[in-house]
Amino acid sequence: MLKARNSSAIVAVRDLARAKAFYGETLGLNLSPDSDGDVAVFNTGDTHLVVYVSEFAGSNKANAVVWSVGAEIESVAAELAARGVVFEQYDMPGADYENGVHTMGDFRMVWFKDPDGNILHLNSAD
């Protein structure tokens, strides 16, 4: 039923202008012409990230969006840090943490929040 259908991430925000600046300028995503009113659609790879206004923005305490960036994770993290992104540090048994990147064996992970507190995640999967 759904296995052949595309899906996209959707994130609630309180202030659409602030979210457009963060997702567009800070994260470097392109705003789609499909954006309208209280909804902004960003192109990300072959998918979309939909950002919409909601009073419940930031209430999710788990990952809202995940990007697999492969071996470029350290360079992506460095570029985000240069743009003012502050990384989350989580205490995970067996994980090392340096420059925003958690490392467990060969797998690397980064977490940060958007201005509304939505948790965004990068990992080294291809």
Domains and CATH numbers, the chain: 9-123 (3.10.180.10)
Query: Cα–Cα distance between 116 and 97 in angstroms, integer?
Result: 24
Query: Cα–Cα distance between 69 and 95 in angstroms, integer?
Result: 19
Model confidence over 33-79: pLDDT tens digits?
988 889 999 999 989 999 999 999 999 999 999 999 999 999 999 99
For residue 15, give the 3-state DSSP assignment. coil
Structure tokens, 6: 């595309």
| Mean pLDDT (the chain, rounded) | 95
Task: Flag whether pLDDT at 14 surpasses 90.
Answer: yes
For residue 53, give the 3-state DSSP assignment. strand
For residue 26, give the 3-state DSSP assignment. helix
Categorize the per-residue pLDDT at 7 as very low, low, confident or very high, splitting at 50, 70 and 90.
confident
Instruction: Return the pLDDT at 119.
Output: 97
Query: Cα–Cα distance between 14 and 16 in angstroms, integer?
Result: 6
Q: Find the distance separating the first CA and the last CA of the chain, reported in whole Å.
A: 27
**Which residue stretches of 1-126 are H helix?**
16-20, 73-82
Instruction: Return the pLDDT at 17.
Output: 96
Instruction: Return the pLDDT at 122.
Output: 96
